[in-house]
Structure 1
Amino acid sequence: MPVISKKKRLNRAYFPEKSLKSNSWILFFISLFPVFINGQEAPDFSILTDKAFQKLYQNPDDCISYSQSLLISDKNPDHKIILRKIISQAYALQGNYVQAVNISNQKEDENQNEHLSHFIQLFRDYNLADQYQNLGLYTQSKKIITGILDDPKLLKSVHVMERMTIAKLFQLQAINSGVTRDYDIAIQYLDKSNLYLDQNNEENRIIKQENIIFRSTFLMKLNKLEESKKLLDQVIQDIESHRDPIFLSAFAYESLSRYFFLKGDYPTSLKFLNEGFSKIENQPYYDMKAIFYELFAKNYLALNNDEKYHYYNNLYTELKTKINSSKKEGIQYIVKLVETYHHKNIEFQKQTKFNQFQIIMVIILLLILGTTAYLLYVSGRSKDLRKQLVFFKKLIEREKAMSVQGERVKNEMQIPPKSQEKDPPKISKEKEDEILQSLKEWEQTDNYLNKSMSIAVLSAQIGINTKYLSEVINNNKEKNFNGYINELRINHIAHLLKTDPAYLNYKVSYLAEYSGFSSHGAFTNVFKSVTGMSPNTYIQEIIKNKRS
């Protein structure tokens, strides 16, 4: 299309209408010209998407504008799915999770799934796993990825785009493992991710550098600080020498500042925080900015600079509240999309079965009518024929009655009574053990520190019915949901106070906020009910034991 329109503009500019009419052979030659150069005129789609991916890490607004322009002009449905994913990632980096979910799940038509290539089906599964991870639904993300990567044929793929997608899946799985503190396994996933990054383009190179930064983060968690520092120094030098996207640079400096924070060198930690933040200060990377604000607050709190601590802590709290609200809306939106998809799928299956039933009935009726006509022809309307007609008439009526009855039974089996929805059957032992295992995995994350945590959010994160979840918590944890969450929070902060000396310098108000409590008083009361002593007394006991 772009070549044809270009040809029309050339015709209007250089060949007047009369001249074209009188020189038809020139027009014919001009019309053939685009055919010869068509392969050179339009840039390869992989080049365009590679450029869009670079813009994703340079300026999300530019990435959205650029990718949307490609989306409008490109008629290939597979290309549209890939472009929407890039736009979705840009919105996610801005913290706009509702729009990220919305744009990523748009479709050209409802029957598009019937014509998808193997790669696009893989890409869509990757997209869903990535969305779940962005929204904090790590368990669902992990399940999807595990199912995909269990296919040995896929792992042997030589398809360029499939290999890049597999690399991204292993990177996502590494992050999921990091959330549950399986850092050694996370590093193994990063190694597998790198094996599939064998193409010479910018997207592969950026993902490799991300993997190095993630690896350094996991090494810090394993207390291998110097090994982590060495990797960060190398990747920062590489990023600066290539003038790589600002987001990647900010990510690397933020990780380096964590190293110095863990070493207790707060001024140097702040130096690299400022260096990293300057990269994204004027760009809408709000999710990353929230991380920087929190680290600024921690450093200034450790330096007893109350003024700057409160300044950055307020910035962090305001921005984090907006992001959490967007995540919550995103979770509700994606759950609604999944429910709608399942509903449409069930309706489609019902309609398909009904259509099949109608076809069978038509065939039966045609057979009956054909048999009847044959009997009429052979028997010459004899008495025996009348008996046969009566028989077939009854047979048709019986088939109709059976079909009506069959449909009623199907409907009764497929649509449970309303009373069952309101009052589900007692949970089985197997289901209870499954829920307890899901809770155990979820407890390895820090999601319970989120102020907006509720039983509905937990239900969405681990994919368990709220009634079952409440019943299992009450029966096995011997407390209600709020008591369960608060105990997890107190155990978490008590562990940090005992293992990380930096937290002993923090004020109780910050510890309360960090733990997800709405107030200093609520935190103190729950802390005392769980540990048997106030936070201040607990801290003094730890300090006293360290001195002795």
Structure 2
Amino acid sequence: MAVCLLKSPAYGQSATPNESLLVKAYELVRSNPDEAVKIGQYLLKNNPSDTQKTKFYLLLAESYWAKGDYNNSVINVFEAGKFADGAKEEEKIKILLLKSQLFRAIYLDNQSKRCLEDAAAKISELKSKEDQNFFEAKILIGNSGMYLDRQNYQKAFELLQKADKKYEPAFSKNALLRQEFYITKARALVGLAKIDSANYYLAKAQKLTKNQKNFDFLNEIALLNELSAVYFHEKQHTRAIDTLLVSMKMATQLKNEALLKVINKQLGINYLALNDKKNYQLFDNKFLKAYDTVEESEQDAVNSAYNLISQEQEADFQKAKTRYADYFYVAVGVLFFVLVAGFLLWLKNYLKKKRLKEIISYLEIRTNNPVRLQPEKRETHKKIAIPAETEQVILAKLKRFENSTRFTNKEMSLAVLAGQFDTNTKYLSEIINKHYQDNFNTYINKLRITFIIGKLKEDPNYMHYKISYLAEKSGFSSHSSFATVFKSITGIAPGTFIDLLKEETEALKQEKVNSHAV
């Protein structure tokens, strides 16, 4: 989860009671968002002006964001936008930045980018150079976060690398912004496996924590999570676990399920690396529980976002209708709205179909060997000399193995398969690495995922089975391991894949009905 977007508003000594409460609320947003929500709701009950409503709804949106409640955050940030006509440009930019962050969190990337572009266009209207520099840095971090969330670490790093000196004036005025920049850059470096460099920026971010007047839980959690990722790379799993437990304590205080999902997953992975199966199962179960909660919350937020975008477009249309009495312009406005709405609907369906087709195509390219696709990156290792005749015999056995369903056996392992092939594990492992560019586990997992997707496509009944049954059918020991592997190979969760496959099947049926009708 990304760090917080908004900076607390500043008021002079003549601040009204409401403004003083607003300042107090912003001090609580990153440590006690529930209390900040109560203050925001109280402020809205006192007949505030439209300008004040913008600030108060923005406070609520920021507080719900800190709680990981995307749906309520979306609703309140759009409410803030409704009253923003008379607000300062700074407030309008804050709304756009928070919208961008929310859209990115619920995978509406196009809308997220558009908000960042709109925010960038408004920067020139700010009177203060300091504010211009601050928001330019926020937009840069937002764009970098987009690339990081989609695992394009190199692009994110290139953007951040150019920013150190350019935004130094903004960093010198705002320690939280500097810390956010360091954490974001460290995240890119961890993704690029440049661990020493990542450690350098995380150490700088840690120093800034000590000087903070108001503790920022979101920044601190992001910092601790990246530190744990570094420790994982360094195989300091016990240290990574200790760090994640501190992070979990803060995320629990925020009641942020989205953060807890990430933290529980990382704890499970570290315990697995220590071969502590009991704790791995404990945190894996917590991860799955949080995953379901967050997925439901994200879907609610997506539905709210689409409804509110439509309402916003309708409101814009009504303003245009009032502004222009000429029926020609009204007609043009209606046509434009219809075209935009139609295009958004078409684009949504097109992207769904495209995504499904890409996944299906990925799994159907199996002329020679279905498990050669997307080999995992592996470290260079010393090759073992294998007699050519032996190598060909093992390859032939692998081909027959792939055409069977023996890989769905839960007990299948490198040692078991080597025994069945009358060879040793070193020969078998070397040949799989050489010819499939995968280790044994990845090789088996790809066979299993290819197998179950084939079943889903061939037999419609499979689309109605529980995920746990599909996991067992394809040879996985648990629902969670199946879901994790499925998503790592296809790019989406199994439930989402099945939903898309159902939509595609229904669409094909409808096309056949229509063609027969014609």
Please report the TM-score for the alignment, with normalisation by the length of structure 2.
0.61
1:316 has 2:299 as partner:
no
Other-structure match for 1:144: 115
Change (3 A) 1:282 1:409: closer
- Contact persistence 2:144–2:160 (CA under 8 A): yes
Larger C-alpha radius of gyration, 1 or 2? 1
Change (3 A) 1:80 1:152: closer
Other-structure match for 2:302: 331
Change (3 A) 1:470 1:96: closer
Which of residues 87, 97, 108 in structure 2 aligns to 1:126? Answer: 97
Gaps of 5+ in 2: 1-10, 382-437, 454-466, 477-481, 490-518
For 2:322 and 2:379, the matched residues in 1 are separated by: 60
What is the alpha-carbon root mean square deviation over aligned residues? 4.8
Which of residues 70, 76, 85 in structure 2 aligns to 1:103? Answer: 76
For 1:123 and 1:235, the matched residues in 2 are separated by: 24
For 1:217 and 1:320, the matched residues in 2 are separated by: 22
What is the CA deviation profile of residues 360-381 of structure 1, one whole-angstrom value per residue up to 9, with x for unaligned ones? xxxxxxxxxxxxxxxxxxxxxx
Please give the secondary structure, in 2, of the residue aligned with 1:115: coil
For 1:282 and 1:170, the matched residues in 2 are separated by: 30
Other-structure match for 1:275: 246
For 2:194 and 2:14, the matched residues in 1 are separated by: 52
Which of residues 259, 262, 274 in structure 1 aligns to 2:233? Answer: 262
Q: Give the CA deviation at 1:258.
A: 0.7
What is the CA deviation profile of residues 332-387 of structure 1, one whole-angstrom value per residue up to 9, with x for unaligned ones? 1111111122233334444555x345xxxxxxxxxxxxxxxxxxxxxxxxxxxxxx
- Contact persistence 1:132–1:138 (CA under 8 A): yes
Which of residues 249, 255, 275 in structure 2 aligns to 1:284? Answer: 255
Q: Which structure has greater helix proportion?
A: 1
Gaps of 5+ in 1: 1-37, 358-405, 425-430, 432-458, 474-478, 532-548
Other-structure match for 1:520: 471
For 2:166 and 2:371, the matched residues in 1 are separated by: 35
* Structure with higher RCO (Cα < 8 A, 6+ apart): 1
1:206 has 2:170 as partner:
no
Please give the secondary structure, in 2, of the residue aligned with 1:136: coil
Other-structure match for 1:233: 203
* Aligned pairs for 1:506-545 within 5 A: 519-520=470-471
Other-structure match for 1:54: 27
Other-structure match for 2:51: 78
* Counterpart code for 2:239: T
Change (3 A) 1:411 1:512: same
* Counterpart code for 2:471: H
Q: Give the CA deviation at 1:523.
A: 6.0
- Contact persistence 2:313–2:337 (CA under 8 A): no
Which of residues 222, 243, 251 in structure 2 aligns to 1:251? Answer: 222
1:464 has 2:347 as partner:
yes
Q: Give the CA deviation at 1:46.
A: 7.9
For 1:330 and 1:185, the matched residues in 2 are separated by: 31
* Counterpart code for 2:175: R
- Contact persistence 2:130–2:170 (CA under 8 A): no
Change (3 A) 1:311 1:143: same
Please give the secondary structure, in 2, of the residue aligned with 1:464: helix
Please give the secondary structure, in 1, of the residue aligned with 2:71: helix
- Contact persistence 1:93–1:288 (CA under 8 A): no
For 1:150 and 1:407, the matched residues in 2 are separated by: 25
Please report the TM-score for the alignment, with normalisation by the length of structure 1.
0.58
Change (3 A) 1:304 1:408: closer
Which of residues 201, 221, 229 in structure 1 aligns to 2:191? Answer: 221
Which of residues 339, 357, 360 in structure 2 aligns to 1:483? Answer: 360
* Counterpart code for 2:30: Y
Identical aligned residues as a percent: 14
Aligned residues: 390
* Counterpart code for 1:229: N
For 1:102 and 1:147, the matched residues in 2 are separated by: 20
* Aligned pairs for 1:302-381 within 5 A: 302-350=273-321, 352-353=323-324, 355-356=325-326
Other-structure match for 1:295: 266
- Contact persistence 2:171–2:178 (CA under 8 A): no
- Contact persistence 1:93–1:287 (CA under 8 A): no
For 1:123 and 1:241, the matched residues in 2 are separated by: 25
Other-structure match for 2:37: 64
Q: Give the CA deviation at 1:264.
A: 1.8
